[in-house]
């Protein structure tokens, strides 16, 4: 393994650079869109016109653009903000600084190919059988194919066969790791619904696993001189009934198996799966199609069982019986083991997995605090040799130095009924005393760094998608902000605990939207006529560009906030003395998967031997 791309001191310097930038710009990211008009957000933070901001944002991606020569003397600025008023006066300076303080601008990330080459030495450790193009039509397939190859290389490098997939969801990654790379995978998810779905998908994938493994083995044997995949005819059966349990095979099952024996081709695989198994989502079909590519082909119209000779019927029954017996005893049929459990850094893996061995821990888009918990678990558990974690949902992260959280802790200390509190208060206690998701590193914890929920929400915005025209739904944000003005002007309870929810998708007009929202909030809608409501819309509609421009500034800052969160996680791994390697790696195409960065870590061989 090559040396880590960045030392702890270097990562800390990058953290300081981003922190200094965000100290001047987080006020924009933390401004709440709902309060955009009630708090006059544009005038508070921006001293240029919305048109200028939107023009500069559109031009920012043009690398050949000549720098603009300013004809008037600009006041002293820091990242485009006036030093005396703290308002934005130079959009270009802000946008260029934001680009420089993103992960690509800081130059702290490895590419996926660089990581694979570092893990395999000469790059020869790859075991990619499936063509990447088969996965580019689906976001999930792209993610699973890209990440699974990295995880397989980590497992090979660490000489382990087990993988623990935290927050495994429907089990796409787990299933693929098992089928494609022959790894023993345990998928852990807190949702029993997800676990049940993964088990059902696991059952369906059994139809393909033996065929797939046979094909992979044959492909490795044949090498590059393989004959055309269209020449391979492989028979599989749908196996909807009777394939999971034990017991005897009934005559009815024999007849069903006889009728369900089919040969399917790659071009028609989706329709074939649809014909011979339960209905499934489009994502499932793409996934199954990808797994079975080049395996099978269409057979001519089958002969009905009633037209078969007695000898042929007996032969097919015998073969079906033998195949069913083999399926019951063949351990390779098990795709992976989905488990239901709520996971924290304190979770004892051996209580969940009896056969636990040294393993790689992975997480594909683990939500909120689960991503940092995965890293804490990796550091604490001797059995975990490597980690590959891709987080998401930064707005759901808990922050240790959130002023609201600190206030709750102070309130709790003043309470004398802790031992007699209700279950809900016990839950609050657990939340307050559990490890928070941010900051994770000692470096940022010592500085009591705090982002804020709205800033973390902004970090979820996808700059690359917005840059190619997949913009933000502005009208819904505009409607909600104007509704807030109406609630302020006519209802004393405009800060109600109730939420408006997804009213916009059902509304036919602004008036309809407001009335639906008032009913949702259980407020008296008779206080306002339709013309009163429409007047608010007409007053604020000319200022909609302000909101659009402001949100584009938030989009520009998003990669910097995400970068700080991920640098904090990398810094945490760098702080551990027994890790031989840690890095941020761009695994995915950000246009297909905006949360495209993985935190990767490897423990030193000496620790593994001594544990």
Residue 397 placed within a domain: no
Residue 597 placed within a domain: no
Regarding whether 488 and 416 lie in a shared domain, the answer is no
Regarding whether 438 and 560 lie in a shared domain, the answer is yes
- Grade residue 64 by pLDDT with cuts at 50, 70 and 90: very low
Regarding whether 563 and 476 lie in a shared domain, the answer is no
Please tell me the predicted confidence (pLDDT) of residue 318: 72
- Render the burial of 520-556: b for 16+ CB within 10 Å, e for the rest: ebebeeeebeeeebeebbeebeebbbbbbbbbbbbbb
Please tell me the predicted confidence (pLDDT) of residue 425: 43
DSSP state for residue 77 in the 8-state scheme = E
Regarding whether 439 and 320 lie in a shared domain, the answer is no
Regarding whether 564 and 528 lie in a shared domain, the answer is no
Place of tokens 């997480």: 363
CA count, 13 A, side-chain hemisphere, 27: 13
The mean pLDDT of the chain is 76
- Grade residue 258 by pLDDT with cuts at 50, 70 and 90: very low
Q: Rg of the chain over CA atoms, in angstroms? A: 29
Length of the chain: 611
Regarding whether 504 and 433 lie in a shared domain, the answer is no
Phi, psi of 581 (to 5 degrees): -160, 140
- Grade residue 503 by pLDDT with cuts at 50, 70 and 90: very high
Please tell me the predicted confidence (pLDDT) of residue 321: 66
Residue 168 placed within a domain: no
Please tell me the predicted confidence (pLDDT) of residue 36: 97
Given a contact cutoff of 8 angstroms between Cβ atoms, the answer to whether 18 and 12 are in contact is no
Query: Rounded CA gap, 340 and 222, in Å?
Result: 41
Regarding whether 472 and 461 lie in a shared domain, the answer is no
Pick from 282, 312, 333: which residue ends a domain? 333
pLDDT digits (tens, 9 = 90+) for 162-201: 999 998 788 888 888 888 898 999 888 865 454 445 455 5
Helix (H) or strand (E) holding 584: strand 579-586
Residue 437 CA, chain-centre distance (Å), reads 16
More confident residue, 421 or 551: 551
What order do you get walking across the sheet with 579-586 strand by strand? 109-111, 579-586, 597-603, 384-392, 359-367, 162-166, 184-189, 337-340
Please tell me the predicted confidence (pLDDT) of residue 67: 44
Query: Rounded CA gap, 27 and 35, in Å?
Result: 14
- Total structural domains in the chain? 3
DSSP-H helix ranges across 107-171: 112-120, 139-158
**Pairing between strand 384-392 and 359-367?**
parallel
Both tokens of 182, joined, read 């022959």
Given a contact cutoff of 8 angstroms between Cβ atoms, the answer to whether 466 and 593 are in contact is no
Pick from 311, 333, 355: which residue ends a domain? 333
pLDDT digits (tens, 9 = 90+) for 92-110: 999 999 999 999 999 999 9
Regarding whether 323 and 443 lie in a shared domain, the answer is no
Phi, psi of 399 (to 5 degrees): -115, 125
What is the dihedral sign for C-alpha 301, 307, 310, 311?
A: negative
Regarding whether 12 and 91 lie in a shared domain, the answer is yes
- Grade residue 309 by pLDDT with cuts at 50, 70 and 90: confident
**Closest Cα partner for 491 from 532, 454, 525?**
525
* Beta-carbon contacts of residue 379 (< 8 Å; ≥ 6 apart): 572, 573, 576
Terminus-to-terminus CA distance in the chain, angstroms?
A: 21
Regarding whether 441 and 420 lie in a shared domain, the answer is yes
pLDDT digits (tens, 9 = 90+) for 345-367: 677 777 777 788 999 999 999 99
Regarding whether 531 and 450 lie in a shared domain, the answer is no
More confident residue, 208 or 538: 538
pLDDT digits (tens, 9 = 90+) for 517-535: 999 999 999 999 999 999 9
Phi, psi of 600 (to 5 degrees): -120, 135
Given a contact cutoff of 8 angstroms between Cβ atoms, the answer to whether 575 and 442 are in contact is yes
Please tell me the predicted confidence (pLDDT) of residue 412: 54
Regarding whether 443 and 568 lie in a shared domain, the answer is yes
- Residue 502 scores a pLDDT above 70: yes
Please tell me the predicted confidence (pLDDT) of residue 298: 39
Please tell me the predicted confidence (pLDDT) of residue 430: 47
**Closest Cα partner for 524 from 484, 492, 479, 476?**
492
pLDDT digits (tens, 9 = 90+) for 427-476: 444 445 568 999 999 999 999 999 999 999 999 998 888 877 776 889 99
Residue 56 placed within a domain: yes
Q: Which domain holds residue 435?
A: 8-65+75-107+409-465+556-576
């Amino acid at each position: 393994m090559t040396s880590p791309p960045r030392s702890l001191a270097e990562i800390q310097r990058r953290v300081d650079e981003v922190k200094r930038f965000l100290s001047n710009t987080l006020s924009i990211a933390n401004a709440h869109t709902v309060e955009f008009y009630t708090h006059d957000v544009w005038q508070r933070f921006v001293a240029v016109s919305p048109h200028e901001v939107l023009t500069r944002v559109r031009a920012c991606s043009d690398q050949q653009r000549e720098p603009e020569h300013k004809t008037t003397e600009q006041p002293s600025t820091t990242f485009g903000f006036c030093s005396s008023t703290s308002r934005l006066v130079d959009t270009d300076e802000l946008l260029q600084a934001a680009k420089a303080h993103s992960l690509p601008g800081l130059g702290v990330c490895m590419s996926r190919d660089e990581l694979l080459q570092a893990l395999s030495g000469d790059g020869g450790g790859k075991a990619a059988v499936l063509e990447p193009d088969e996965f580019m039509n689906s976001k999930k397939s792209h993610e699973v194919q890209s990440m699974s190859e990295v995880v397989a290389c980590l497992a090979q490098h660490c000489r382990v066969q087990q993988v623990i997939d935290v927050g495994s969801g429907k089990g796409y990654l787990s299933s693929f790791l098992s089928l494609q790379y022959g790894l023993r995978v345990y998928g852990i998810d807190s949702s029993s619904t997800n676990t049940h779905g993964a088990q059902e998908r696991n059952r369906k994938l059994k139809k393909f696993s033996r065929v797939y493994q046979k094909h992979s083995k044959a492909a490795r044997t044949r090498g590059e001189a393989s004959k055309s995949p269209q020449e391979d005819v492989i028979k599989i059966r749908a196996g909807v009934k009777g394939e999971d349990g034990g017991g005897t095979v009934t005559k009815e099952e024999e007849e069903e198996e006889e009728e369900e024996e089919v040969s399917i081709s790659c071009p028609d695989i989706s329709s074939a799966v649809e014909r011979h198994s339960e209905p499934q989502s489009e994502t499932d079909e793409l996934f199954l199609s990808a797994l079975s590519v080049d395996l099978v082909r269409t057979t001519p119209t089958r002969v009905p069982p009633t037209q078969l000779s007695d000898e042929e019927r007996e032969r097919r029954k015998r073969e079906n019986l033998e195949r069913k017996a083999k399926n019951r005893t063949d351990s390779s049929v098990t795709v992976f083991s989905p488990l239901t459990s709520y996971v924290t850094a304190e979770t004892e893996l051996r209580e969940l997995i009896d056969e636990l061995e040294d393993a790689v821990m992975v997480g594909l888009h683990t939500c909120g605090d689960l991503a940092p918990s995965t890293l804490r678990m990796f550091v604490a558990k001797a059995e975990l040799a490597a980690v590959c974690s891709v987080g998401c949902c930064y707005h759901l992260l808990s922050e240790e130095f959130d002023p609201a959280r600190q206030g709750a802790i102070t309130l709790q200390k003043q309470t004398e009924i802790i031992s007699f509190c209700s279950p809900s208060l016990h839950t609050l206690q657990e939340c307050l005393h559990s490890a928070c998701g941010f900051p994770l590193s000692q470096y940022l914890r010592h500085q009591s760094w705090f982002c804020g929920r709205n800033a973390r929400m902004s970090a979820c915005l996808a700059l690359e998608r917005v840059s190619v025209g997949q913009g933000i739904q502005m009208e819904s944000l505009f409607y909600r902000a104007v509704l807030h003005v109406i609630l302020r002007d006519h209802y004393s309870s405009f800060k109600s605990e109730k939420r408006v929810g997804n009213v916009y998708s059902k509304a036919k007009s602004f008036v309809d939207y407001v009335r639906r929202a008032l009913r949702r909030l259980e407020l008296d809608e008779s206080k306002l006529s339709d013309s009163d409501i429409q007047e608010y819309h007409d007053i604020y509609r000319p200022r909609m560009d302000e909101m659009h421009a402001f949100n584009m500034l938030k989009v520009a800052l998003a990669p910097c906030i995400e970068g700080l969160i991920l640098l904090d996680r990398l810094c945490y791994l760098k702080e551990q003395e027994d890790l031989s390697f840690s890095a941020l790696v761009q695994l995915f195409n950000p246009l297909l998967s905006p949360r495209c960065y993985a935190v990767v870590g490897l423990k030193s061989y000496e620790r593994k031997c001594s544990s």
